[in-house]
Amino acid sequence: DVKVTQSSRYLVKRTGEKVFLECVQDMDHENMFWYRQDPGLGLRLIYFSYDVKMKEKGDIPEGYSVSREKKERFSLILESASTNQTSMYLCASRTGFWQPQHFGDGTRLSIL
Amino acid sequence: TQLLEQSPQFLSIQEGENLTVYCNSSSVFSSLQWYRQEPGEGPVLLVTVVTGGEVKKLKRLTFQFGDARKDSSLHITAAQPGDTGLYLCAGDEGGGADGLTFGKGTHLIIQP
């Protein structure tokens, strides 16, 4: 089975902090994704990466950056956390184009 | 970004009843995926449909992809309390490494 592991299930940070969310997949997947999920808005794509050191902006990249130095790891960075970034963050990966995505269990992030 | 309209948003029915969830778009998708998500967990892939008119069955769940690949439905027969959860449809625009376009989800509650 595909395993996508997010480093924290719950995280509480303060406004202005730099926050790192980590995601690791164990199936040698090419593509990795970061989404946020908010009530009434559904899942929205923040950033994705189709290969090591490659990254592309999704629909809502403002206030975020990403890093993919190794194939199995995709990090989401909140440069200066703000309260409107309180959300559930979901990481996903897939083998390649047109293949289904597999999700981690999510990180529920609260910015105080 | 293509939009997916999912309906109903909320559904509460008695155990043993049948139900259908709809996912509609004005645009064509190369494939469509259905996920189920439980509270505090990430979405879990149920099925991927690729061909227009395709029907897939997963025990009591029947998934259909519209002939024009613009819409899909999920039908549950004889619903059980274990079917309770958030059902998400997600469209893959295809042709690249972009993330999925998600519907906002259907919150399903099956009462014993």
Write the single-letter amino acid at B108. Answer: L
pLDDT beyond 60 at B1: no
Average pLDDT score over residue span B16-29: 94
Instruction: Name which of B28, B18, B31 is nearest B90 in CA terms.
Output: B31
Q: Assign domain B5-111 to its CATH superfamily.
A: Immunoglobulins (2.60.40.10)
Instruction: Determine what percent of chain A is predicted with pLDDT higher than 70.
Output: 98
Contacts of A37 (CB under 8 A, 6+ apart): A43, A44, A87, A88, A89, A90, A106
CB B6 within 8 A of CB B103: yes
Sign of the torsion formed by the C-alpha atoms of A42, B32, B39 and A88: negative
Average pLDDT score over residue span A24-52: 92
Instruction: Determine what percent of chain A is predicted with pLDDT higher than 90.
Output: 80
In the prediction, which pLDDT does A76 show?
A: 98
Q: Does A59 touch chain B (CB under 8 A)?
A: yes
Q: State the smallest CA–CA distance between residue B46 and chain A in angstroms.
A: 10
CA–CA distance, B49 with B89 (Å, rounded to integer): 11
Q: Which residue of A has its CA nearest to B4?
A: A42
Q: State the smallest CA–CA distance between residue A35 and chain B in angstroms.
A: 9
Q: Does B30 touch chain A (CB under 8 A)?
A: yes
* B49-73 per-position pLDDT tens digit: 999 999 999 999 999 999 999 999 9
In the prediction, which pLDDT does B96 show?
A: 58
- pLDDT bin (cut points 50, 70, 90) of residue B39 is confident
What phi and psi, each to the nearest 5 degrees, are found at residue B81?
-55, -30
Q: Which residue of B has its CA nearest to A95?
A: B97
Q: Does B48 touch chain A (CB under 8 A)?
A: yes
For chain B, give the mean pLDDT.
92
For residue A49, the cross-strand partners are A32
CA count, 13 A, side-chain hemisphere, A60: 15
pLDDT beyond 70 at B21: yes
CA–CA distance, B17 with B109 (Å, rounded to integer): 12
In the prediction, which pLDDT does B75 show?
A: 98
Phi-psi region of B40 (alpha: psi -120 to 50; beta: other; left: phi over 0): left
Average pLDDT score over residue span B88-100: 77
Lowest mean pLDDT across A76-80, A99-103, B46-50? A99-103
Question: Tokens 């440069």 correspond to what residue?
Answer: A79
Q: Does B53 touch chain A (CB under 8 A)?
A: no
Q: Which of A5, A43, A102, A109 to probe the B interface (max B CBs under 10 A)? A: A43
Average pLDDT score over residue span B79-107: 87
In CATH terms, the fold of domain A4-111 is Immunoglobulin-like (2.60.40)
User: What are the sequence ranges of the domains in chain A?
Assistant: 4-111
Cis peptide upstream of residue B112 (ω within 30 degrees of 0): no
User: What are the sequence ranges of the domains in chain B?
Assistant: 5-111
CA count, 13 A, side-chain hemisphere, B95: 4
In the prediction, which pLDDT does B61 show?
A: 97
Task: Estimate to the nearest angstrom the gap between the alpha carbon of B102 and the chain centroid.
Answer: 10
